[in-house]
Structure 1
């Protein structure tokens, strides 16, 4: 599969995950849940969905049968990228300047970095090529 097609599919999976994340979070908060633990539930739901989409479409030519080990590698890679996202965001906003005035700039940079880490870790560590 061409890299551009793989990246496009990765972005679609991410968009679907975002919709599920926001939807589950909103529903849980609407039902009275504390938004902090609700966010953990919504993140897990979104991550599970993106694992399924990515393993079938984005990395379908590289993925073998779905296994718990593969899901755990995916979860660890996703968690690492989330930590990078939050760390970069917090660092930029703490550093100040334009990032404190326009924190959306910090979100954009943090998201770009974490998405790159996600994509590369999924490509190289989570979905190993199938033997032919």
Structure 2
């Protein structure tokens, strides 16, 4: 149980880092580059998911293995995180549609979607990618 709570804590820390990347990128693209707030989530998701893959590989699931080469593991991570991304994006879009005043502040609905999606992302990361304990070399 201690190991699971440690993984949850580290996953949450990495998630906060990913949230900073995601919301920072989407806010910059919309606020400074005048991107469409719906399209801006594509690069912000990819960069945030890349950061969280790196974090979780190095820290959260350091005692687990995926049995994949790094590039294949990253692709699998992006695929798995896409489930959470659909939830995240759905909440994001609903909030933008329901509250047009949020259009200049896309970081707010992005953060709301991220909180809900985090539960799905932890479960899929731990149960489907980093599912096997590392064996001592």
- Normalised by the size of structure 2, how large is the TM-score? 0.70
What is aligned with 2:122?
119
Aligned CA distance change for structure 1 residues 80 and 36 (closer, same or farther; 3 Å): same
Q: Which one is further off, 114-123 or 62-71?
A: 62-71
What is aligned with 1:48?
50
Cα RMSD (Å) of the superposition?
Answer: 2.8
What is aligned with 2:5?
4
Aligned CA distance change for structure 1 residues 86 and 42 (closer, same or farther; 3 Å): closer
Greater length-normalized contact order (CA 8 Å, ≥ 6 residues apart): 2
Give SS of 2:40's match.
helix
Matched, 1:24 2:13: no
Structure 2: segments with no counterpart, 5+ residues:
96-108
Structure 1: segments with no counterpart, 5+ residues:
94-103
CA separation in 2, counterparts of 1:25 and 1:46?
A: 10
Give SS of 2:76's match.
helix
Alpha-carbon shift at residue 35 of structure 1 (Å) = 2.0
CA separation in 1, counterparts of 2:119 and 2:25?
A: 25
Give SS of 1:2's match.
helix
How does 1:92-107 map onto structure 2 within 5 Å? none
Hey, which of these two has a bigger chunk of helix by percent?
1
Alpha-carbon shift at residue 24 of structure 1 (Å) = 0.9
- Normalised by the size of structure 1, how large is the TM-score? 0.73
In the alignment of these two chains, the number of paired residues is 116
